[in-house]
Amino acid sequence: MDDFEKLFLSIEKHIKNSSINIDDIKLIKKLNQIIINNISNKKEYKYTKKVPIEKSIKIVYDFLEQLNINYKNYFDLRLNDGTIIFEDDRNNQFTAYSDYVDNKRVIFIPVRNTIEDAYTIVHELFHDINLDEEDFNETRYIYTESLSFLGELLLKDYLKENKIKDYQVYIKNNFYIVENKAIEVDFNIRLIEKYLENGYFDMKLLFEVFENYPKEYISYLLSIISEICEEESLTMDNEQIYIFGYIIGSYMYKRIKENEKNINELFDLNEIIKIYSFESIISYLDIDFEKQNIFNELEDNYKKILKRN
């Protein structure tokens, strides 16, 4: 069986196993389109200054102390109880994560000895704050990237205020990464829509999907197809949380800049995303996806933050 046959079977399997329909993907499609509309095609940026991990830890410590003394204390706890594992990664081989491994809480930080390490610590620590060992929680899964991205934006402001070199590189690169994820989600959505419209999928329909993209994207799309075939399922489920995360995280950041008291939304959500429903938290953030022009408002805000970075 060639890759394209595996692709067609994977699309069918994903849709049938998920009982997915066009209505199910409307929200993520609209949010994803915000990023697609604003793709900048920038390259990845390089760090110009070495920063020892000890200095990054101190920077995070000071940032958290200013942000929320409870977060600073939490960071202390995780440093002292062995939860945080630092491993040299000068060749960029590893990926950071926060999880339970063999019933033990682990925050894994690949150390690159640049200011990226400080961002990685904040990102994973914010995941860890709302992590527990219970079964999968869908609301946490959806919202946790929003909170980590918001933490990164707040850290960026702190680094800028303290004149720390390369403070923008991490954020710039993350926008570059999320743009690639948006293309991947868009491609997945188009595969789903073509299947649902026709009740099947074949090479003719695949070429119709390809026609929506510039030629320079084809190589990337083929790599996505290879991943789908390897996983025997579409890849959208793993990537759409980042789309949601960047749009909602940007929205929360805007609210904090408009009113400093809204920082409490970050602290509150880190406590309640394991308890309340997706809809309840959207309501808490004063977002109404049924409101006229809400997606235009979210896009205008995303564009402003993208332009600043």
Q: Would you state the pLDDT for residue 135? A: 60
Q: Would you state the pLDDT for residue 188? A: 96
Coil, helix or strand for 97? strand
Q: Would you state the pLDDT for residue 136? A: 64
Coil, helix or strand for 280? helix
Look up residue 255 and give its two tokens: 């609210």
| CA gap 117, 257 in Å, rounded | 25
| CA gap 48, 241 in Å, rounded | 31
257, containing H or E segment: helix 236-258
CA angle in degrees (0–180, nearest 5) for 38-39-45: 125
CA angle in degrees (0–180, nearest 5) for 282-286-289: 60
Q: How many other CB atoms sit within 10 Å of the CB of residue 18?
A: 14
DSSP β-bridge partners for residue 219? none
Tens digit of each residue's pLDDT, the chain (309 residues): 577 888 999 998 888 877 766 667 899 999 999 999 999 866 789 999 999 999 999 999 999 999 999 999 999 999 999 999 999 998 889 999 999 998 899 999 999 999 999 999 999 999 999 887 666 678 888 899 999 999 999 999 999 999 999 999 999 999 999 999 999 999 999 999 999 999 989 999 999 999 999 999 999 999 999 999 998 889 998 899 999 999 999 999 999 999 999 999 999 999 888 888 999 999 999 999 999 999 999 999 999 999 888
Q: Would you state the pLDDT for residue 144? A: 92
Strand pairing category for 84-88 and 104-111? parallel
| CA gap 61, 75 in Å, rounded | 7
Q: Is 19 left (phi over 0), alpha (psi -120 to 50) or beta?
A: left
What is the residue type of 53? I
| CA gap 238, 253 in Å, rounded | 24
Half-sphere exposure of 238 (CA within 13 A, CB side): 9
